[in-house]
Structure 1
Amino acid sequence: MTQANDSPSPMAAVFAPSGTLRASINLGNPVLASLDPKTGEPVGISVDLATALAQRLGVPLQLIAVKSAGASVENVEQDKADVGFFAVDPKRGQAISFTQPYVLIEGFYAVRDGSPITTNQQVDQPGISVAVGKDSAYDLFLTRELQHATIVRIPTSPAVVQGFLDQHLSVAAGVKQQLEKDAATAGGLRILDQRFMVIRQAMGVPKAKGDAAATYLSAFVEEMKASGVVAASMASHKIEGAEVAGAND
């Protein structure tokens, strides 16, 4: 648990009524967070932003690490966490107030080397099965967009490629960086040339905390982008293939 450096701000009681800011960290997206191999502790952009927010509020920070986006959403919706880091999605927006995105990530498809599928347009066809991470941003998106292909939900995003292989599915969908990493390990796979979506990663706070909390968090994220904190964090953690979101993204 990270200790606070400053006296609590007036917003501390809104964000962290327990006296500690509980931040839900999704380890299922390597662009956002991962476990430090030396310490076993979560590190990454979302951890850096959570740390900065706790320091701004003047309260200690508790990281609640989970393995999937769906579990992270549940933490915030069920008051197990005070803030979280998610892809913006209308379904999630029913209970969570999102900031503007702080980073943009691309969603891609991967197939076996011998697959006849070479374009995104060929994916949405009868008889095609698409592996996705359950309740991930791309699961929610593809559930709305794919009309003919069958979606097969794998428990976590890092397990998508292995599930795709084990179940002999047609396509694996996911964050480009995760697919590239898993494809390199598995071998015999290729990633299609065109992204199927841009994943807008934002911070989120329960709507139950009110408009003031949502406004405060939005201003915090815009400051972190404008001041270079997000870019510096991405560079520090050697994140490639993603970009800092602009003011209008």
Structure 2
Amino acid sequence: MEFRPDIGQLSPTVREHLAPANLLRAGINLSNFLLVSSRGLQGEPQGVSPDMARTLADLLGTGLRYVPYENPGLLADAAPCDEWDVGLIGAEPQRAEAISFTPAYAEIEATYLVREASPLKEIADVDAQGIRIAVSGRAAYGLWLDRNIRKAELVRSGTLDDSANDFAAKELDALAGLRPRLLKDVEAIPGTRILDGYFMTVQQAIGVPKAKAEAADYLAKFVAAAKESGFVAALIEKHGVQGLSVAR
């Protein structure tokens, strides 16, 4: 699907912010398998977020370089380091201290996996005294839990696999995660189930370092046009991603 939105004149300042030396450097979070769903022949990331970056570069008429990060925390940490010009990452208040975000272009539900015999039946049941929740600490939903969990204990680990292993090995009460990943975990960990509903939705957006905040308005128009035209929906269909939705 060709996408050439008319989103107004690009000022020289914004162009310089987005593509110094006529090259757009796009920070990509490799750990989100819904947004980076495969690799190319040269190992380059492929999926919805790389395609969004490619389309933006085409619109700007510039080259494109993917700057991959193993997790979103590392991508966010690099915001002041001049390693990337745009970062495709979940928008969260902690990250917004260093990054100016567009509205989201896609969203993903986050919920809990529990054991079949667990007394936890609903999302609201989980934040209770004595409950221990396994979570990959620097994921967007992990940051949300940091801000919102009041009574339960968060048991943090470095990766998604580690948090699933902690849940199983340490006999924790709940495993927090994105629903599509938990659908795999429920098959891998016998005697478990996934709670209905969600405690938050991860809002996947495009960000620029605060020093380049002037470019955020242009990017917001790009994202709005991509959603309204059906382009984001077409990318989700193209890559066959289940559990990723166009942001509301």
Query: Do they superpose with TM above 0.5?
Result: yes
Residues 1:34 and 2:20 aligned together: no
Which of 45, 48, 67 is 1:45 aligned to?
48
For residue 117 of structure 1, report the CA deviation from its aligned partner.
Answer: 1.7
- Separation (CA, whole Å) in 1 of partners of 2:39 and 2:172: 32
- Separation (CA, whole Å) in 2 of partners of 1:25 and 1:75: 12
- Separation (CA, whole Å) in 2 of partners of 1:84 and 1:143: 22
1:14-163 matches, within 5 Å, as 14-36=17-39, 40-163=43-166
List per-residue Cα deviations over 1:106-140 (Å, max 9, x = no partner).
Answer: 11000122322222222112221111112211111
Query: What amino acid does structure 1 have at the position aligned with 2:235?
Result: S
- Separation (CA, whole Å) in 2 of partners of 1:37 and 1:108: 31
- Separation (CA, whole Å) in 1 of partners of 2:121 and 2:24: 46
- Separation (CA, whole Å) in 1 of partners of 2:24 and 2:161: 27
For residue 156 of structure 1, report the CA deviation from its aligned partner.
Answer: 2.3
Distance 1:77 1:109, change over 3 A: farther
Which of 211, 228, 231 is 1:229 aligned to?
231
Residues 1:189 and 2:207 aligned together: no
Query: What amino acid does structure 1 have at the position aligned with 2:238?
Result: S
| TM-score of the pair, normalised by structure 2 | 0.88
- Separation (CA, whole Å) in 1 of partners of 2:38 and 2:203: 22
CA-based RMSD? 2.1
1:12–1:59 contact (8 Å) kept in structure 2: no
**Match for residue 239 of structure 1?**
241
List per-residue Cα deviations over 1:210-239 (Å, max 9, x = no partner).
Answer: 32x111111111111122211110001111
| TM-score of the pair, normalised by structure 1 | 0.87
- Separation (CA, whole Å) in 2 of partners of 1:236 and 1:75: 30
Give the secondary-structure state (helix, strand or coil) at the position aligned to 2:20. coil
1:28–1:68 contact (8 Å) kept in structure 2: yes
**Comparing 216-225 and 84-93, the one that deviates more:** 84-93
Number of matched residues? 238
List per-residue Cα deviations over 1:52-100 (Å, max 9, x = no partner).
Answer: 1111122221112222221121233432211112222222111111111
